């Protein structure tokens, strides 16, 4: 009888663990490839823009080539995320799909708002304010989306990443435009790449 109860407890624990792992997979917040893809967007994309404004006196903004490179890298990252997400939730319906839609809509609406607000206020705000909205805004948005994803999937590492991105993005409010780009590239991109390495290690340890 005791052995049966012990097996029941173990089976229940295994079911809970499997459910958590499945939730993480379905929300696509803990895939090393996704972390690495966005890490390269921040590190290389923002790093390229920083190199293009380094030493500008007065500051006139990143070059068109560096901005185009960011959009190309972001497009590759988005394509990667969508491909992994489609594969992860294939044949799955219910709460996990609703959660995924919430995350996608939150990110899409937030980023669309940034794209609209930036040009609209460009002639009426300071250069530093515009740089904060244009460059740190996406970092703040990514942080908030990861915090939401962590809450839906109950995954603490994603919450830590989201909180860090929010801190980094907020701190940029006191920085000069070029420093904002450098901070987002190193602290933001570095955090994503670190999470990719951590998640890879966790998966190897768990396998």
First vs last C-alpha separation in the chain: 32
Asked whether residue 7 is assigned to any structural domain, the reply reads no
Domain assignment present for residue 6? The answer is no
Please tell me the total count of domains within the chain: 1
For residue 123, tell me if it sits in a domain.
yes
Asked whether 110 and 141 are in contact (CB, 8 A), the reply is yes
**Share of residues in the chain with pLDDT > 90 (%):** 34
Q: Does the residue 43 lie in any domain?
A: yes
Nearest to 77, CA basis, from 176, 183, 192: 192
Q: How far apart are CA 122 and CA 128, in angstroms?
A: 11
Per-residue pLDDT tens digits for 164-190: 999 999 999 999 999 999 999 999 999
* Tokens at 184, concatenated: 């987002």
- CA nearest to 49, candidates 38, 34, 59, 58: 59
Whether 105 maps to a domain, the answer reads yes
User: CA Rg, the chain, in Å?
Assistant: 20
- Does residue 20 form part of some domain? no
Cis before 58 (ω within 30): yes
Q: Which domain holds residue 94?
A: 31-206
pLDDT in tens, the chain (207 residues): 545 555 565 655 555 455 555 555 545 555 788 889 889 999 999 999 999 998 888 888 899 999 999 989 988 888 877 777 666 555 555 566 676 777 777 877 888 888 888 888 888 888 889 999 999 999 999 999 888 888 877 677 888 999 999 999 999 999 999 999 999 999 999 999 999 998 888 777 755
Would residue 4 count as lying in a domain? no
What pLDDT is stored for residue 2 in this prediction? 46
**8 Å CB contact between 43 and 189:** yes
Query: Residue 145: inside a domain, yes or no?
Result: yes
pTM: 0.79
């Amino acid at each position: 009888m005791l052995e049966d109860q012990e097996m029941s407890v173990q089976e229940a624990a295994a079911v809970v663990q499997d459910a958590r792992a499945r939730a993480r997979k379905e929300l696509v917040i803990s895939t090393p490839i996704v972390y690495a893809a966005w890490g390269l967007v921040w590190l290389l994309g923002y790093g390229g823009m920083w190199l293009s404004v380094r030493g500008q006196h007065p500051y006139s903004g990143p070059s068109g080539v560096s901005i185009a490179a960011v959009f190309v890298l972001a497009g590759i990252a988005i394509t990667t995320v969508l491909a992994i997400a489609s594969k992860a939730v294939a044949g799955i319906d219910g709460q996990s799909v609703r959660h995924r839609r919430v995350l996608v809509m939150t990110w899409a609406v937030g980023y669309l708002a940034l794209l609209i607000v930036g040009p609209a206020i460009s002639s009426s705000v300071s250069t530093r304010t515009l740089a904060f909205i244009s460059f740190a805004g996406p970092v703040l948005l990514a942080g908030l989306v990861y915090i939401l994803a962590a809450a839906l999937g109950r995954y603490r590492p994603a919450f830590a990443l989201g909180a860090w991105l929010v801190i980094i993005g907020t701190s940029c409010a006191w920085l000069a435009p070029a420093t904002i780009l450098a901070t987002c590239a190193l602290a933001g991109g570095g955090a994503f790449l670190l999470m990719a390495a951590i998640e890879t290690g966790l998966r190897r340890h768990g396998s």
